[in-house]
């Protein structure tokens, strides 16, 4: 299994490193993380007071200046800047390679997680969907966001939980807290659900104690660096809404994160529509760790949408606030495909076609986006249209033609395959083909 995961990770890395964004038009979040990683990797310090180029999200602490990016993402990039950077000045390239590496590593672990649920071929297919039909490609692997390393540690923790290794799972969860502190809410909800559903208090306690070390380390880091012993560190009022965004904006956040043309997860990853109807059946059949992961994802999503606007900023393609919830939900979505979507050739055909649409959409941004995408009115704008204006009519039409041909191919191929009963509700095709149902293995 691990050799196959390694090969998948290497394949994803090759694509990611070729399509990452190495241009100067960086989002301030990614540049702030890259700048701090360069300083740590090349000079062994986080103090940026000697850097004359300007520090985005800089925080003055006495006569020193620090980036307010969280330590987990800085560490995720520091080794790459130590190996590939220059001490004279920071460059974009090492940060892009770091993003590609961590995102590709997440793809490998994704395959290992899926292997806890299904056989090898469908697990490869599921990892491919995760890698190229979601913002893992267009956002996480594009620049030094928190999402690439966050997805890696998140999936590793889920994998270890599925293998009943609570202490190691807690260590991986602790790393996610150092990258995105409010991940702690998701893990707390997961632990409570595990305690309620499995009644295995010792395992939950071991997981919780080790995972909580992430918060402890983060508080100590913020105390030492910013003189503020809390979880937010360099974040100041205005970066987050301490009292929440308010009831009306929260409702808008939920709707926008789901169905807005600019950032809506259900529109920009449309294959999810063919998984949603199977969620109830999948929930009933799922192992406790699958359910706990889903609970964590929903809890994290609610906190994320309570704290900040769903838009997630400017200068990137697709959506990013729902990347972690979607990653948490991965095992349950795999079970949903197994128990419902794969039940008829028509559902499989529609699912496969929508996967092609998703790959085309995220590939369009990952390959051709010049980072000019802005968020004016996210309910009116569509990221791909903004990119199409840069690409031009000929390039856009060519991309659409290729996409249409691929959709036609997968529809014809899937609909011509047999193995479905008369009513079509419960038959699963053989796992020996790429369009096969995700045949359950132990645990679900």
Q: To which H or E segment does residue 58 belong? A: strand 58-61
Q: What is the DSSP letter of 425?
A: S
Number of residues assigned to the chain: 444
Distances (CA, A) of 267 to 227, 242, 307, 355: 43, 30, 23, 12
* Beta-carbon-side half-sphere exposure of residue 407 (alpha carbons within 13 Å): 18
374-395 tens-digit pLDDT: 767 888 888 898 899 888 999 9
Nearest to 42 by CA among 32, 34, 52: 34
Largest CA distance in the chain: 75
Nearest to 244 by CA among 329, 330, 160, 303: 303
CA dihedral angle for residue 370, residue 371, residue 377, residue 380, rounded to 10 degrees: 30
What residue segments make up the domains of the chain, in order of their start?
A: 2-415
Phi, psi of 66, deg, nearest 5 = -125, 150
Task: Check: CB of residue 27 under 8 Å from CB of residue 143.
Answer: yes
| pLDDT at residue number 159 | 97
Rounded Cα gap, residues 143 and 430, in angstroms? 39
Nearest to 329 by CA among 149, 148, 70, 134: 134
Its pTM stands at 0.91
Residue 227, sorted as left (phi over 0), alpha (psi -120 to 50) or beta, turns out to be: left
Nearest to 56 by CA among 183, 182, 178, 144: 144
Q: Which residues contact 192 (CB under 8 A, 6 or more apart)?
A: none
Rounded Cα gap, residues 141 and 102, in angstroms? 8
Phi, psi of 369, deg, nearest 5 = -65, 130
Residue 436, sorted as left (phi over 0), alpha (psi -120 to 50) or beta, turns out to be: beta
Q: Which of the residues in the chain have pLDDT under 50?
A: 241-242, 419-444
Residue 65: helix, strand or coil by DSSP?
Answer: strand
For helices 147-162 and 166-179, what crossing angle results, to 10°?
170
DSSP β-bridge partners for residue 237: 240
Q: Which residues contact 276 (CB under 8 A, 6 or more apart)?
A: 336
| pLDDT at residue number 65 | 94
Residue 323: helix, strand or coil by DSSP?
Answer: helix
| pLDDT at residue number 432 | 33
56-85 tens-digit pLDDT: 899 999 999 999 999 999 999 999 999 999
Residue 64: helix, strand or coil by DSSP?
Answer: strand
| pLDDT at residue number 443 | 37
| pLDDT at residue number 439 | 40
Rounded Cα gap, residues 387 and 41, in angstroms? 34
Rounded Cα gap, residues 142 and 415, in angstroms? 35
């Amino acid at each position: 299994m691990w050799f196959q995961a390694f090969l998948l990770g290497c394949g994803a890395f090759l694509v990611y490193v070729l399509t990452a964004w190495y241009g100067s038009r960086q989002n301030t979040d990614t540049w702030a993380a890259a700048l701090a990683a360069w300083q740590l990797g090349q000079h062994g310090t986080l103090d940026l007071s000697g850097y004359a180029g300007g520090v985005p999200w800089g925080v003055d602490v006495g006569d020193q200046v620090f980036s307010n990016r969280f330590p987990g993402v800085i560490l995720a990039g520091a080794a790459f800047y130590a190996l590939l950077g220059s001490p004279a000045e920071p460059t974009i390239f090492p940060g892009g390679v770091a993003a590609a590496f961590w995102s590709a590593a997440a793809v490998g672990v994704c395959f290992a997680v899926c292997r806890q649920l299904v056989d090898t071929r469908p697990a490869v297919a599921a990892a491919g969907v995760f890698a190229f039909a979601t913002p893992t490609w267009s956002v996480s692997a594009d620049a030094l966001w928190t999402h690439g390393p966050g997805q890696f540690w998140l999936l590793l923790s889920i994998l270890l939980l599925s293998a009943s290794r609570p202490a190691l799972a807690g260590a991986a969860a602790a790393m996610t807290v150092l990258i995105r502190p409010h991940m702690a809410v998701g893990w707390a909800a997961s632990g409570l659900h595990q305690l309620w559903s499995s009644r295995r208090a010792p395992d939950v306690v071991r997981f919780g104690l080790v995972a909580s070390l992430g918060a402890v380390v983060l508080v100590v880091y913020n105390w030492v660096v910013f003189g503020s012993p809390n979880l937010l560190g360099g974040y100041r009022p205005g970066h987050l809404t301490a009292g929440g965004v308010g009831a009306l904006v929260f409702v808008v956040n939920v709707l926008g994160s789901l169905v807005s043309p600019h950032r809506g997860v259900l529109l920009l990853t449309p294959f999810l529509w063919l998984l949603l109807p199977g969620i109830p059946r999948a929930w009933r059949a799922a192992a406790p760790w699958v359910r706990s992961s889903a609970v964590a994802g929903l809890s994290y999503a609610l906190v994320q949408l309570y704290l900040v606007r769903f838009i997630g900023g400017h200068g990137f393609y697709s959506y990013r606030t729902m990347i972690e919830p979607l990653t948490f939900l991965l095992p349950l979505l795999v079970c949903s495909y197994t128990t419902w979507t794969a039940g008829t050739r028509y559902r499989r055909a529609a699912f496969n076609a929508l996967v092609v649409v998703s790959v085309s959409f995220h590939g369009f941004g990952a390959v051709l986006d010049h980072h000019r995408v802005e968020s004016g009115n996210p309910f009116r704008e569509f990221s791909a249209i903004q990119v199409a204006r840069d690409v031009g009519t000929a390039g856009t039409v060519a991309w659409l033609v290729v996409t249409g041909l691929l959709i036609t191919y997968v529809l014809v191929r899937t609909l011509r395959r047999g193995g479905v009963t008369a009513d079509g509700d419960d038959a699963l095709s053989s796992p020996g083909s790429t369009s096969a149902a995700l045949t359950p293995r132990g645990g679900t």
